[in-house]
Amino acid sequence: GALLATREPTNCSPSLCSDISPLLKDPAAFRTLIDLLEEHLRASFPKIDFIAGLDSRGFLIGPPLAQRLGIGFVLIRKKGKLPGPTESVSYALEYGKAELEIQSDAVEPGQKVVIVDDLLATGGTMCAACELLKRLKAEVLECLVVIELKLLKGSEKLKSIPFYSLLQFD
């Protein structure tokens, strides 16, 4: 985990702290990130059926993690991007509304799912993703992110759903 334990710069704006681009450019750092997330999930849950990734950076972290765990990956996308029948949920943004969708047959009732994204800010998108999986009667084991912006209190929105973040910034 040494590669991720870099010192936080004093002028760390949320946009700077929450940018995972440097991790993606560095194969060793990215491998370490996936190692840490895999270790956490293996230690926490004996059985996971799917990783669900949020549009769009969850698509970068989710598939390699699912591969390591030997499980499938499902997409949760912005409205209008997925083929076939979908479940859709609308949620509030600070500047309006957005909609998320999942394919209606993405998961079966009772299947255990971990939702993955790069960042938790206000928690609106993650909450909407949880709602979609609830509608499909899946069990959300955990919401997993690389970076949590603590000041925005997004994890409080998730209420009873377990939440894990690798890095936290105030």
Residue 144: give its domain's CATH number: 3.40.50.2020
pLDDT single digits (tens) 75-120:
999 999 999 999 999 998 878 899 999 999 999 999 999 999 999 9
Print the domain residue range for 156.
Answer: 47-168
> With contact defined as beta carbons under 8 Å apart, do 52 and 116 qualify?
yes
94 is catalytic: yes
| From 68, 77, 94, 135, active-site residue | 94
Please indicate, yes or no, if residue 11 is contained in any of the structural domains: no
**For position 49, what pLDDT does the model report?**
98
Please indicate, yes or no, if residue 77 is contained in any of the structural domains: yes
Distance CA 88, CA 107 (A): 14
Please indicate, yes or no, if residue 133 is contained in any of the structural domains: yes
| From 8, 38, 39, 57, active-site residue | 57
Please indicate, yes or no, if residue 42 is contained in any of the structural domains: no
Please indicate, yes or no, if residue 20 is contained in any of the structural domains: no
Low-confidence stretches of the chain (pLDDT < 70) are 1-17
**For position 123, what pLDDT does the model report?**
95
Please indicate, yes or no, if residue 22 is contained in any of the structural domains: no
Domain count for the chain: 1
Distance CA 38, CA 143 (A): 14
**For position 3, what pLDDT does the model report?**
46
Please indicate, yes or no, if residue 2 is contained in any of the structural domains: no
Please indicate, yes or no, if residue 110 is contained in any of the structural domains: yes
57 is catalytic: yes
Distance CA 114, CA 49 (A): 8
**For position 2, what pLDDT does the model report?**
41
